[in-house]
Amino acid sequence: MKDRILRYKASSKSSGSYVLYWMQQAQRIHCNPAFDYAVAKAQELKLGLIVCFVLSDEIPEANMRHYRFMLEALLEIAVGLAKRKIPFHVLLGKPTELIPRLGQKARLLVLDHGYLNWQRTWRDAIFSSELLSDTELVQLDTEATIPVHLASDKEEYTAATLRRKLVAKLPDWASYPDPPHYDIEPQYLDLQGIAHYPYDMLDIDALWAWACSELKLHPSPDIVGGITGGYEQAQKKLSLFIKEKLSAYAQYRNHPDLDYTSELSPYLHFGQISALEIIHKVFEAWQVPIDTLPQLIANKKQLTGNSLNLADYAEELIVRRELSMNFCFYNPDYDSAMCLPNWARKTLNNHLMDAREQHYSLDRLEQGETDDIYWNAAQRQMIFSGKMHGYMRMYWGKRLLSWCPSVDEAQEILLYLNNKYELDGRDVNAYAGIAWCFGKHDRPWAERPIFGMVRFMNAAGLKRKFDMDAYLRKVDLILRGKDEILA
């Protein structure tokens, strides 16, 4: 795990009662480099390991549906850790205050890594805390197949430029070591004076009621039905994908009228399953050696059949996802239109005075009340199911430019809607995907009104490529099902 260390602070002290792992980005105990590092160090030091999760109301734009999905995973984690006699505490408050307070008595404090500005600010504050001046600290990249800072030392221009670097380095990163041995007697924290969940971690209703009360969660948007958070649920989604969808993934993955995506993005967003574990299980199921992964990605354009399906999925799961990580890691303006390449901002600004098709208030947009039936369907699908098909999200994003006076306003509205309703919102993929709608990680195309040289999408293209009537029927079924639940 040493190669995954992003940041390290040594300590001269040899005292400390335990090893503490603050879990935040990687909400799992399977294939989690930060957790495994903490386990191995606790075993080496002969000290008990303690895992803490901080439930905070300072997570930007998080709401009831996000917290519910997350808490469902925490119950699984509690059960898994109890089997290994590792205490797990759900704390309430500010991580930048609670973790240093508990970490000052630790021999070692281990952190996972978040790519967004607010996550990095938290970790910066912890590393600079005076309370931890005598505590050893280590921070590891847990989510990228190849740690972002090692995959590239700069922001990449396109997927092609990052792909070459990933392919060259993947042979050294495609494997994952076996979980470390651990047989230390449990060490318990003194939580006196620290707000924490004091009841049975096996009761989701009690945990949820406590979280709603303590965090004062607003009831809108409400919880998404039909999907549950946690590692076991992610495994079920993965098994279904391998069994019923992967064999036609390359052909149908972009079809919004069909369901050929893995539906794992919410689980990846919350770190409830590892991308490395996913790719291993996909290759194992199809009896393909994992060491062929780099060649499949590199040669995708020449492939057919099952090889193309594997390569297409690996491209999305590894290359595109880690391009998003690279973007947010190296570009502090990832959440504004300032992140766009110069050519995109210039061409869009050149068309600021072009007449827009319509102007809609934020309320009408949020309710899906435009003159575009496909945009409305995508928006309503997101509101009621917590997800939108990836291809429709591209159309949904680009279409807004036709209704907004500037790219800055369009991006601001899209991020608001996406981050509020999507279970995988507030994610590196979300920021990169919305920026892509306006030219990020893309190239100039033919000039046209409003869009300039930014890639254009329209309803005619949707109808030409897909059965959009089937898509509308699918969304209508989702909405009718929601109405029946509410009734």
Contact 282, 221 (CB under 8 A): no
Q: What structural domains and CATH numbers belong to the chain?
A: 2-143+190-215 (3.40.50.620), 232-271+274-330 (1.25.40.80), 337-486 (1.10.579.10)
Residue whose pair of structure tokens reads 């990687």 in the numeric block: 26
Q: What pLDDT sits at residue 201?
A: 87
The angle, 0 to 180 degrees and rounded to 10, between the axes of the packed helices 407-421 and 390-399 is 140
| Residue 150 φ/ψ region, left for φ over 0, alpha for ψ in the -120 to 50 degree band, beta for the rest | alpha
> Alpha-carbon torsion 265, 271, 275, 281, what sign?
negative
Dist. CA 430–CA 418, nearest whole Å = 8
Within a 13 Å sphere around the CA of 432, how many CA atoms are in the beta-carbon half? 27
Tokens found for residue 5: 């260390």
Tokens found for residue 90: 């759900």
Q: What pLDDT sits at residue 2?
A: 67
> Alpha-carbon torsion 94, 72, 85, 14, what sign?
negative
Dist. CA 70–CA 131, nearest whole Å = 29
Tokens found for residue 188: 């318990």
Flag residues of the chain having pLDDT under 50.
484-487
Helix (H, G, I), strand (E, B) or coil at 6: strand
Q: Following DSSP, what letter does each residue of 206-260 receive, concatenated?
A: HHHHHHHHHHT--S-S-PPTT---SHHHHHHHHHHHHHHTGGGHHHHTT-TTS--
Q: What pLDDT sits at residue 263?
A: 96
Helix (H, G, I), strand (E, B) or coil at 342: helix
Counting every residue, how long is the chain?
Answer: 487
Q: What pLDDT sits at residue 486?
A: 43
